[in-house]
A and B are shown apart, each in its own frame.
Chain A
Amino acid sequence: METAPKPGGDAPPKKNKLRAKRKKPRRYWEEEETAPTAAGASLGPPRSKKRKQEFRPQRPKNTYIQNKSRVSKKPQIPKKPRERRNPEPQRTLSGAQDPFPGPAPAPVEAARKFRRIDKSKKLLHSKSKARSRLEAAEAEEEEASLRAARSELLLAEEPGFLEGEDGEDTAKIRQTDIVEAVDIASAAKHFDLNLRQFGPYRLNYSRTGRHLALGGRRGHVAALDWVTKKLMCEINVMEAVRDIRFLHSEALLAVAQNRWLHIYDNQGIELHCIRRCDRITQLEFLPFHFLLATASETGFLTYLDVSVGKIVTALNARAGRLDVMTQNPYNAIIHLGHSNGTVSLWSPAMKEPLAKILCHRGGVRAMAVDSTGTYMATSGLDHQLKIFDLRGTFQPLSSRTLPQGAGHLAFSQRGLLAAGMGDVVNIWSGQGKGSPPSLEKPYLTHRLSGHVHGLQFCPFEDVLGVGHNGGITSMLVPGAAEPNFDGLENNPYRSRKQRQEWEVKALLEKVPAELICLDPRALAEVDVITLEQEKKERIERLGYDPEAKAPFHPKPKQKGRSSTASLVKRKRKVMDEEHRDKVRQSLKQKQQQKEDGKKPKPTGTRSSALDRFMH
């Protein structure tokens, strides 16, 4: 009876067992399939059918590893694929064979990018149940990351680039040359708006990169679909305009006017006048929190919840007039630049700055944070342009003295840094996507007809918008933007209906303002302090520690072996063993510490991947 299911020898039944264990659980409605197995186990055809079923869940297990091993272990493989191939032709309806059987290979390197579990922290020895949970979590992570890596194949678009002919400096390439070289659709993205009448312009692109809002100092406010050049609205607010910003969608516009903050819709109709936000100099919108952060002349940083129309907090920065503000897109922290050369980082949940960084000897003129939240570029009155590492150390990575000093800074999605100095715009690029821009030589330069007043890279387009005295210039910067957009998140081509749907979803997924902190993954951590506190309170309440390990009590033995001496002896044995364990552990720790101490730490700060770029 037992020999029947294992005709192939000794090895297969083991596998069979494993497969049976990992078999997809039989559902109660799947009666047709389970009935025959239960009834007639000895029958031939059903057995083969069963094997088929067993094979299917097996496949994801030997995914890319198996495929890799195929390359190395050539002699063994031919047999197994054959075995597998046999059932497959039976399943396809058309009868055509799949030339690449099994799941698509996924690059390990790409998968590593999607790993989320921090394995640097060593875990204590855990109980078997906890261990199984951990293993399950790790398996899940591995699979999810693999799938994500595999789906990277779908990102078909590639970023643009600009290369000089054999040693030609790309900075010498002019906009006209670029426009001549590119296709018509791209060339149409380079344009100049001559608006000399209403003073220097601030500008803002919507999150999809499709719409552009501009605000002239002398009251000119306009919003347009800059790709089709279709004007949505144009008004004069008859008041000085300090800053302009789109809210979560292109339908709403916040304008910081001379006295108060006004909100217009895309028809140019004034919806709100927010008098609690007065004398605003700078605006920033946090899209995932629906917060409009405003910096005022009076030194207040105010967070306005746009979804409910409430002011979340008004923080006094205690540093005089706030002129320089930017947001960290990675963790939604607001950076404020002050006249004493410091940059302070703010979150609406805290009354004091999360961090303060001394960046310049003079006041800070401009700041920008890149899209990954890794680098911050600052320029100060001391004519220096510096790039800081924001990953915990806040140390300057590189710096450069500019003849005039930069008055405006902007990071593109792919990490290009633009700086407006007087009427010149310089753009620097880095080596790769994750590297900071090297300030050695500019990637592109462009001279404008007026002094720069606003700078922003257009999302998902290789375009840099520059607002200046003479109007607006849209520059072409190859390789600036992310080529692939997420259609569910920021779809430049979305219809009105889609936008509305997205709006609802975004509102449902709104992140509470108090969750803004330096590490956005802090929510996945346990609140250890409260945990300890509660534990302590519990112990106090109960009078003993319920989780404490019970002391060892030897079991009484029979036949006269349970004498007091032997009991004590056994007890002592256990105690000694525990003690030895402790000693061993402490010794190990000491050794580790010694080893750690031996390793020379270069600067005392955390070593970063960018150390090789520094001297």
Chain B
Amino acid sequence: MSVTGASESLLALSQQEQPVDLPRDYPLSASEDDEDSNGERKHRKLLEAISSLDGKNRWKLAERSEANQSVSEFNISSEGIREKLALSDLFQPIKMSSSLVTVKKQLKRVKAKKTVALPLNKEEVARIHREIRTPLEQEILNILHKYKQPVTDPLLTPVEKASLQAMSLEEAKMRRAELQRARALQSYYEAQARRQKKIKSKKYHRVVKKGKAKKALKDLETLRKVSPTAAASEELEKMEKARMMERMCLKHQNNGKGTKSKSFRAKYDLKSRQAMQEQLAKNRELTQKLQVASESDDEAGGVEEDGLMVPDVSAVLMDTKGSNPWMCRSCTCHSRESEIQKDPELPPEHVTLKDSESEEEESPVAEENTLLKEFEERQSLRKRPEPSTYAEPMVCQETQAFSSQEVLSELKALSRQLSKEDRQSRKQKVNSIEVALRSQEEEKPLLLQRPERIQTLEKLSKEGCSPNMEIPRPVLQGQQRERNPDNQPEAPKKKRKEQTIDLQNLLTTKSPFGKSLAVPTLEELEGEEERNQKQMIKEAFAGDDVIRDFLKEKRESVEASKPKGVELTLPGWGEWGGGGLQPSAKNRRRFLMNAPEGPPREDKHLPNVIISEKRNIHAAAHQVHVLPYPFSHHQQLERTIQVPVGCTWNTQRAFQKLTTPKVVTKPGHVIEPIKAEDVGYLSSPRSDLSVMQRIPKGLSVWHRKQLKDNSAG
């Protein structure tokens, strides 16, 4: 049934088609295209009908076959699959004007045709294919060739072409993206700066200022390493600027309100007087003109004399750069250093680029260009805030680990002997440098003492050791360490050392007695042999460091027994939460309830002992944990139960006495009810005497009165 039904619908479709696709006014002599499309459509419909034969009744949009008043918006359909109904189609008039269609087709045809080229005039041809005849022309051609100017087609020079080629579309896009990025970054930075500027906290600004100053110092330092001359000039510039500022403003001239009042008080108050003088000194110092080469005479002698003081020679360095051959050498030396230093810093792209360029263009001009580029790159690198961050850590971290510590530890001892000792080893020199720097640092602001270090380094190089880049680094790091919280890493180390020493002493306690007495039956060894044996033992146990292991174990156990704080952080509280997100460190710190410090460990002062702090809960289960009535403190109860009662710890009599019951009854005797007399009350006036005897103290006034009355009566 379904098959026949489907075939019927197919028939119906084929019949229906005609009125839609072939409108009446459509010219019968339609072009092949139209016929083709018609055929295609029919074919498609046929295919669809066939595909619907499989039984699934697909819902089909109803086709509009005739004009109707009530047009349902839901029934609008597009014909075929590929032709999607567009809005513009709906706006257009339904019927296309036939005349326009023909014109269109004609135009198409015209476009498709190609024009046939006309041959040029003879003259023109001759002008183009001109031969070189005159020497002038030849010369001109040569020149043109030489400078790579276009000869035939004078549109673009080869350089211009190359430049055009150099920037491809991708490159242009990249460049644009870069620029965009830079712009975005700039705007971000601006926004940040604006925000920061708005912050009202004075402390914050102070911190920022300090950080900036530090950064500037660091920059200067690195710059100095790279090119001392530039650094020196910059420094001078800065000083000059500071001087100008100082001269212009009235900051340190004791003109302010506060300072005036201070000056008034200065007569009596030592402190304010000092403060005033300080201010003036500062002013003087700042406004002083730089006196160049004034101290150059005592430069050499000063260093030799006391080792700690290195005179200021920055100015010397600046001035005598040209004339002094030594200085010159050092300068070149430094520049070479800088080159060496910089090479690894260059990004690899640059290198490859450079190579390719040099390969392609071998003309001197191009070489110059590349050189110029390199120089520019270097300049830009130099201008970067922290050029040394690339390679330095990797190179010097190992050296830092030991050398700086060594330096620090040896520092104090060496500093005293420094002047006497001849400096031969490099390490010592480094020490001396550092010492000098340190002493300087204490006296002056850091900015002023840069050149000295350079000078000392120069000295090193003068004295013969090759300019190794590893020399200054430990020094630098040492300095940084000093600048950081003073000697903080050293303090705990010292402590630990003390402890180990203590333990060592413990383990090697000399027997309090002298040499052991000779015992006849005992073959005591001779002193030397004993010593030998000791040595042997020492050697045997050199490998396993028992003490260190023990200390480590103890530290671990101490850590483990420390009460841990409770973390009350709610993930997602005050910040973003969700899977894989950890609450921030700040929040964690904020909501961390630090556990109260427990009582001090029992083995706190016993370096060779670890006493477990764990409670024996099994034993505690047998202990008393409730205070009985009359006691208010556990110590009171403890006192009463400390005496053992058992017969194992007491004599027989004592045991009996300690364990006598409060109430003793005897079998075979009648226990009579209690009488008033027994408790001390009077039952009859006659028995008052017995009462008196029994309880002489406990009589109240009333009782006595009664007694008296009785005796009287």
Contact = CB atoms under 8 A, between A and B. Distances in A.
Interface of A: 1-2, 5, 17, 20, 27-29, 37-38, 41, 116-118, 121, 123-124, 126-127, 129-130, 133-134, 136-138, 140-141, 143-144, 147-148, 150-151, 169, 171-172, 340-342, 347, 349-350, 352-362, 381-383, 386, 392-396, 398-401, 403, 424, 426, 439-442, 445-447, 509, 512, 514-517, 521-531, 534, 604-605, 614-615
B635 A124 contact: yes
A367 B617 CA distance: 29
A445 to B, nearest CB: 5
A27 B549 contact: no
A186 B291 CA distance: 105
B550 A342 contact: yes
Most chain B CB within 10 A, of A17, A20, A396, A530, is at: A530
Contact of A514 (B510, B612, B618, B631): B618
19 contacts: A38-B677, A126-B633, A133-B636, A140-B643, A144-B651, A148-B651, A150-B651, A352-B614, A359-B608, A392-B602, A396-B509, A401-B530, A403-B523, A424-B522, A441-B516, A445-B521, A514-B621, A526-B625, A615-B512
B696 interface: yes
Contacts of B602: 392
A522 B541 contact: no
A116 B642 contact: yes
Interface in B471-515: 503, 506-507, 509-513
A116 B643 contact: yes
B546 interface: yes
Interface string B518-561: 01111111000010011001001100101101100100000000
B511 A526 contact: no
Contacts of A116: 642-644
Binding site of B, secondary structure by majority: helix, strand, loop or mixed? Answer: loop
Interface stretch (B102-110, B269-277, B665-673): B665-673
Contact of B654 (A147, A169, A522): A147
Contacts, number: 253
B257 interface: no
A17 B696 CA distance: 7
Interface of B: 503, 506-507, 509-513, 516-517, 519-525, 530, 533-534, 537, 540-541, 544, 546-547, 549-550, 553, 602-603, 605-606, 608-612, 614-627, 629-644, 648, 650-651, 653-654, 657-658, 664, 666, 669, 671-672, 677, 689-690, 692-694, 696-697, 711
The 4 closest A-B pairs by CB, nearest first: A514-B618, A526-B634, A527-B623, A129-B630
B555 to A, nearest CB: 13
Contact of B692 (A2, A129, A383, A445): A2
Nearest to B510: A399
A123 B609 contact: no
B609 A358 contact: yes
A144 B658 contact: yes
B537 A382 contact: yes
A115 B653 CA distance: 17
Given A147-B651, A382-B541, A517 B616 contact: yes
B508 to A, nearest CB: 8
Contacts of A361: 507, 537, 541, 546-547
A611 to B, nearest CB: 12
A529 B615 contact: yes
A524 B611 CA distance: 22
B616 A118 contact: no
Given A144-B650, A171-B519, A524 B616 contact: no
Given A395-B608, A442-B519, A531-B626, 13 more contacts: A1-B689, A28-B669, A37-B690, A138-B639, A350-B616, A356-B609, A358-B546, A362-B537, A386-B509, A400-B513, A440-B513, A441-B516, A528-B634
B636 A141 contact: no
Contact of B650 (A29, A138, A148, A442): A148
B640 A133 contact: yes
Interface centre among A352, A399, A604, A615 (most CB of B within 10 A): A399
Contacts of B632: 124, 126-127, 130
A349 B651 contact: no
B163 to A, nearest CB: 77
Contacts of A342: 546, 550
A527 B610 CA distance: 23
Contacts of B510: 399
A604 B547 CA distance: 21
A126 B689 contact: no
Contact of A38 (B631, B638, B669, B690): B690
Contacts of B546: 340-342, 358, 360-362
A349 B618 contact: yes
Contacts of B519: 169, 171, 426, 441-442, 445
A605 B525 contact: no
Contact of A358 (B550, B627, B664): B550
A134 B639 contact: yes
B507 A360 contact: yes
B630 A447 contact: no
B620 A529 contact: yes
Given A147-B650, A355-B611, A123 B635 contact: yes
Given A347-B616, A394-B609, A396-B506, A124 B633 contact: yes
Contact of A398 (B511, B629, B633): B511
Contact of A393 (B522, B606, B637, B664): B606
Given A400-B513, A403-B530, A41 B550 contact: no
Contacts of B521: 171, 424, 445-447
Given A358-B608, A400-B511, A517 B619 contact: yes
Contact of A20 (B614, B616, B634, B693): B693
A403 B611 contact: no
B243 to A, nearest CB: 57
A127 B630 contact: yes
A355 B601 CA distance: 12
A314 B547 CA distance: 28
Contacts of B711: 1
Contacts of B653: 147
A523 B619 contact: yes
B457 to A, nearest CB: 47
A391 B521 CA distance: 35
Contact of B509 (A399, A447, A514): A399
A512 B623 CA distance: 13
A577 B627 CA distance: 29
A604 B612 contact: no
Given A41-B690, A526-B634, A514 B616 contact: yes
B608 A357 contact: yes
B606 A515 contact: no
A358 B506 CA distance: 9
B620 A527 contact: yes
Nearest to B689: A1
Contact of A355 (B509, B609, B619): B609
Contacts of B635: 121, 123-124
A121 B634 CA distance: 12
B101 to A, nearest CB: 98
B643 A141 contact: yes
Contact of A144 (B603, B648, B654, B694): B654
A45 B623 CA distance: 55
Given A403-B530, A523-B622, A528-B634, A440 B517 contact: yes
Which of B544, B622, B636, B697 neighbours the largest number of chain A CB atoms within 10 Å of its CB?
A: B636
B601 to A, nearest CB: 12
Contact of B511 (A140, A147, A401): A401
Contact of B605 (A20, A353, A509, A604): A604
Contacts of A341: 546, 550
B546 to A, nearest CB: 5
B305 to A, nearest CB: 47
Contacts of B622: 512, 514-515, 523
Nearest to B657: A143
A485 B69 CA distance: 132
